[in-house]
Amino acid sequence: MVDFPPRRKPSRKGSMVDVPKDLLEQIKELERLFTVDQAKLKEVTNHFVKELEKGLSVEGGSIPMNPTWVMGYPDGHETGTFLALDMGGTNLRVCEIVLPEEKGEFEIIQSKYRMPEELKTGGSEELWGYIADCLQQFIEYHHEVEDLEQMDKKLPLGFTFSFPATQDFIDHGILQRWTKGFDIAGVEGKDVVPLFEAALEKRKLPIKLGALINDTTGTLIASHYTDETMQIGCIFGTGCNAAYMENCGSVPKIAHHNLPPDMPIAINCEYGAFDNEHAVLPRTPFDVVIDEDSPRPGQQSFEKMIAGLYLGELFRLVLIDLHDNKCKMFEGQDISKLRKAYSLDASFLSFIEEDPFENLSETGELFSKELGIKAHKPELELCRRLAELIGTRAARLSACGVAAICKKKEIKACHVGADGSVFNKYPHFKARGAQALREILDWPAEKRDPIDIRAAEDGSGVGAALIAALTIKRVKAGNLAGIRNTEGMI
């Protein structure tokens, strides 16, 4: 019997030996456009700190810095059964969470429902009706009751509404603007809670909304519930955002509530809107095109450079430019599929970065299968480098927001709970972000990272339930700051 040596993993070092001079020149130009050096990272972060402060002021700024009326962290002793509703960009998720006597523990059952595309641009009543129908289906299935009106008491619900909303109360939220491909007329500028509650009432559902939250705030609370060193919650997915705990005395725009200055309040930054003035972010001509062709030009500038929704589109725009104007990329090929806006998403770039083969055979198959393009090896090398550049820039810029919060709050060491498809699935995103944090905060090479970004707990499910539990706990204690309707909570 022949004893073979251990099989080596496929090598993927990325040789540029076979790349023609014109393509090499384009790669160098792309490296110049998309590389963010240490000095730029620090410049962006320092500006970010100022903008966070401005957002908390009475005058406000580009970053909304929305007070959430979540007044402190859970202590691990919250108990009860809660519903959580998670309305994201793609799916609707309904959960039932049981918080038992054991500290920091939870049990969860959940169901997912596809969010039909036509609902995203349809009518308001249809949207809320569909959501209420999903809740009804979930309760009927898991509670096996024939008449929902006969249930003993209303189930408290935490509603994760992952869109920018202004909250004067925790059970209230005025939609500032739709994001994530939603554009439903007549909802922006209105309180979404009565619209949602009307749909529940119409179906006589035994549900009491305890809290309207953002997924990022939920991520912060759920992560801290299981790890008390978590001080920031982040989302790096279709969009980007962060939440952290501020002192009421450091939030001038809520000073009229006369709250104790040392009372904690969670702030939902909504910092995808950072640098809408284009003062500091290193935008390329392709970023400008994405912004100008978007439904909301001039908004969400930071998000458009780092979020999953835009990474594939950046990649596509560069390839179209190279084909049409620069170096005859994919010469003689039919690139009609590539010309379709937003036809590529972040998973396309992920796949390219994960191709383990020296000849980039899997990338070649991807272009052939998805786009009908037969790319040559040098072209595949350029595509590989471009994917690396776009993915690396996103990860490095994402670290600026985390670093800015840490600098503002003078946090020297903590865990940061991060969630979202880009953080969880995009290759090397975590490592590239960690390297950028080291560069921004000048940590010595031999020192272990004092601020560690790691996978978060389920913010939109468990976090929403915990916040509903915290709200009920506050009502029982008589601390009603930021709670509008206490009826049916206890």
Which residues form the catalytic set? 162, 177, 215
Contact call for residues 265 and 254 (beta carbons, < 8 A): yes
Query: Rounded to 5 degrees, what are φ and ψ at 88?
Result: -105, -160
Contact call for residues 398 and 306 (beta carbons, < 8 A): yes
DSSP string, 132-174: HHHHHHHHHHHH--S-GGGSSSPEEEEEEE-S-EE-SSTT--E
If we measure between CA atoms, which residue out of 422, 485, 415 comes closest to residue 457?
Answer: 415
Distances (CA, A) of 11 to 209, 314, 360: 54, 27, 10
If we measure between CA atoms, which residue out of 88, 211, 201, 250 comes closest to residue 473?
Answer: 211
Distances (CA, A) of 329 to 345, 381, 382, 383: 20, 12, 10, 10
Calpha distance 159→215 (Å, rounded)? 9
Cβ-in-10-Å burial (0-12, 13-18, 19+) of 410 comes to exposed
Instruction: Tell me if residue 105 falls in helix, strand or coil.
Output: coil
Residues 6+ apart with CB under 8 A from 215: 86, 88, 160, 162, 235, 241, 419, 459, 460, 463
Q: How far is CA 434 from the centre of its chain?
A: 18
Calpha distance 185→427 (Å, rounded)? 37
Contact call for residues 20 and 378 (beta carbons, < 8 A): yes
Calpha distance 371→390 (Å, rounded)? 20
